Amino acid sequence: MRVIPMTAPWDTVLQRTLLWLAAASALACQGSSKSASAATARDTAAKAATFVAANWRPPTEADIPNDSLGAAIRRGLYLIRFTPESLPAYATSSLRCTSCHQNDGTKASAAPLTGAHARYPKYMTRSGAVIGLADRVNYCFTRSLAGNVLPPESRQMNDILAYLAFISHDVPVGTNLAGASGLVSMKDTLVGDLARGETIFKRECVACHQADGQGNAAFPALWGPKSFSIGASMAREERAASFVWHNMPQSKPGSLTPQEAFDVAAFVNSHPRPDSPGKETDWPSGGAPKDVPYATKGHEPHRPPASLLARRTPDRAIVPTPPEVDGGAKREH
Ligand code: HEC
Ligand code: HEC
């Protein structure tokens, strides 16, 4: 190979040309990457602008990809379906996540989890703080499942979050899907009658939830040590009435009148159930909804249950406030 002396004048020209070409192509690259990211942003904006909540359908189990992410999503789905079986140290009641979040968390009238990924972090008046999705999941572990805090850094929490992200696919941040604010509000707030509620319970509910309300291997408990705690939304009369009216009896939902739903909800919630440690600090700025069954700032309990059952590990039943770091100012290298 011939060695070209770099000092040769013609070579300087060539070198300059090469440099110019390199610079030009770098510019071109920059330009193209800029326009590519602009295109992505435009696509996202266009998608968000054209997103029609009413037409959107969540992906199903069959849509879970067959790759590593898909494996995590599938594990997350099975965790919410088989919670006490999979996580007995954390889910100590007979309830699974899907006992309330029916159809794998996709049923609009049963506090759907679809779109939850796009709704967090959000401010929760009950906690008086901005809450991330893992903490929100843990509120259900500790209150709705009357269980223990699942370590946010655990693989299992990650899997549940992967599933929640999956069933929120394509939902733009800030979109209000049906059921985005939990159980659908009942049109009229009625007052449940306990005696009528008992009659309805005996007629409509015992076939599955059993005469003592404790359920069995196939059906979740409605009260007692294996049911949801007093700190769960379901322990509120109007929330429970909404769930029951829209979804129960499981075999013929919609067959009760709204009044009957309030009656049976009041009856179910009049029974003993697990306590929820720390509940008195809920709604720290006041303004608890009328049907909250325990005392909070400026709020008198609404029809509290007959008694509260002590939790075995009360310190694990409270979702800790996220710790603040010191910013590294004092860190030594
Ligand atoms: C006893 C019923 C019940 C059980 C069991 C339950 N939840 Fe919930 N969950 C609710 C209700 C009700 C709401 C909505 C609050 C409302 O309507 O006031 C909710 C809300 C949520 C939210 C927030 C949704 C949003 O977009 O704001 C998440 C996430 C969640 N639950 C996850 C779970 C997971 C995961 C489990 C299992 C570990 C679980 N839940 C078990 C009743 C339950
Ligand atoms: C045909 C059986 C069946 C009947 C009848 C039935 N349920 Fe349920 N119920 C279920 C099942 C199953 C679930 C769990 C949801 C799921 O797996 O989809 C459930 C869940 C619930 C829950 C939330 C979970 C829990 O344990 O707290 C409540 C509350 C509830 N039912 C109340 C009632 C009431 C009140 C009635 C009577 C009006 C009733 N159900 C009648 C089968 C039934």
Lining residues, ligand 1, CB within 6 Å: 80, 83, 95, 97, 99-101, 111, 113, 116, 119, 136-137, 140-141, 144-145, 160, 182-183, 228, 232-234, 239
* Amino acid at position 262, single letter: F
Ligand 2 midpoint to CA 203 (Å): 13
Q: Which ligand is nearest to the CA of 240?
A: 2
- Burial of 32 per CB tally in 10 Å (0-12, 13-18, 19+): exposed
Nearest Cα to Cα of residue 240 among 184, 294, 296: 184
Comparing 82-96, 110-124, 281-295, 312-326, the range with the smallest average pLDDT is 312-326
Which CATH fold would you assign to the domain 194-317? Cytochrome Bc1 Complex; Chain D, domain 2 (1.10.760)
Comparing 35-44, 120-129, 156-165, 307-316, the range with the smallest average pLDDT is 35-44
Query: How many CB atoms sit inside 10 A of residue 183's CB?
Result: 23
Same fold, 59-166 and 194-317: yes
Per-residue pLDDT band for 333 (boundaries 50, 70, 90) equals: low
What pLDDT does 8 receive? 39
Per-residue pLDDT of 211-270, as tens digits, reads 999 999 999 999 999 999 999 999 999 999 999 999 999 999 999 999 999 999 999 999
Pairing of β 129-131 and β 122-124: antiparallel
From CA 91, how far away is CA 223, in angstroms rounded? 16
Give the tokens for residue 291: 């049907």
All structural domains of the chain with their residue ranges = 59-166, 194-317
Number of the ligand 2 atom closest to the C-alpha atom of 207:
5
Q: Which ligand is nearest to the CA of 264?
A: 2
In angstroms, the Cα distances linking 125 to 76, 154, 233, 282, 286 are: 28, 27, 13, 8, 9
Identify the residue whose tokens are 């306590």: 275
Nearest Cα to Cα of residue 198 among 211, 185, 208: 211
What pLDDT does 23 receive? 42
Residue 43 has pLDDT above 70, yes or no: no
The DSSP string of 140-198 is IIIIIS---PPPTTSHHHHHHHHHHHHTTTT--TT---TTTTSSPPPSS-----HHHHH
Ligand 1 midpoint to CA 140 (Å): 5
Q: Which CATH number fits domain 59-166: 3.40.50.300, 1.10.760.10, 1.25.40.10, 3.30.70.20?
A: 1.10.760.10
Q: Which ligand is nearest to the CA of 269?
A: 2
